[in-house]
Structure 1
Amino acid sequence: MPQIKMHKFSHLKYLPLMLFQLLLMVLFFIFVRYDGDKHHDLRGFEGTHVMIFVGFGFLMTFLKKYSYSALGFNWFLAAIVIQWAFLCQNFYHLKDNKILATKETLLADVGGSIAIHTFGAYFGLGTSWAMKPHHKKTSTAPTATSAAVDLNGPTYISDVTAMIGLFAKLSFLSPLKDNEHYDDDVNWELP
């Protein structure tokens, strides 16, 4: 079997991503100034991040072939998109050519949760339909495509991690949506 030679510049395939991250870091250094607010109550901000990184990340691990790549790509894209979205949303509200990072700017939900979740559901359905094998079965003998179908099935571990992701997503969704309706001065205690 012949040895496959790697291209001499194959180690540079991640260079555009590293340059984009460097650009984001420079933009944050130049434009972002944090508010001197001593009120550090960011439950909604932390809940959103737990939903994105733990909830959606582990929810996408239900296929045995793609579980690690789904988790890695979800975390990578979430880290990049959170930074990029923060900059893009706040470039419209510059004060003295600076972005002021306050609690209100960190918790802004511009897109609306219903539209985002509906898009995600239909995108997932469309992607799964587009990626399924389109062929007619003529025999019951195992073929190469049946082995590939087995890799797309669940395992016990992938089901458990997907369940962890689902519970994390559901447990942090309700406090995030209800956070703005409660008065912070009210003491909540168990009976």
Structure 2
Amino acid sequence: ELRAQQYEIKPVLTKLFSSAHFYHLSNRAATIKSPAQLIVQTVRQYGTPPRQLSALAGACDLMGQDLFQPPNVKGWDGGRTWINTSTLFVRQNVAIYLLTGKRPDVYDWENDETRFNPEPLLAGATTPGAMVDRLISVSLAAPPHPERRAALVSFLESQAQARATEHSRAVAVIALITALPEYQLA
């Protein structure tokens, strides 16, 4: 195709990005997010407030991606090397930090008080099932296993019965979604 286009890149990329194969479900959720990708995607998907850049860079380092310091010219190996018992813990903590401003490594008075507003994400979703479906559509590259979705809906229903605020319910279910195996995939 590149030869047919006389080595013009633009028509080749246009054809590639408009191909149905490019957007096929089998190509979604096929790779593990790098630490930087995980953080940037979480911020962009949820519209979290700005947090301390040094804390986020430190989290990337703890997850094995020292920003601007690749191990060699090829860069990081990526893939399954991003996931182990230590990095999963950090991945979840960084998501909670982005959502709540709370860091596990500092005193409470050092935490960021800026509140995350999940309301724009939930516009029009009035039932626990609709809320979960809306958040899943924003959060995951591929649908989760039906049992996981049901567990999220059940959690929201139990929180409603416990009279938790809508804000705390939304933040809690988003935190649970970020802990799903599917959330680790791009």
Give the TM-score normalised by the residue count of structure 2.
Answer: 0.28
Greater helix fraction, Structure 1 or Structure 2: 1
Which structure is larger by alpha-carbon Rg, 1 or 2?
1
Which structure is higher in RCO with an 8 Å CA cutoff and minimum separation 6? 1
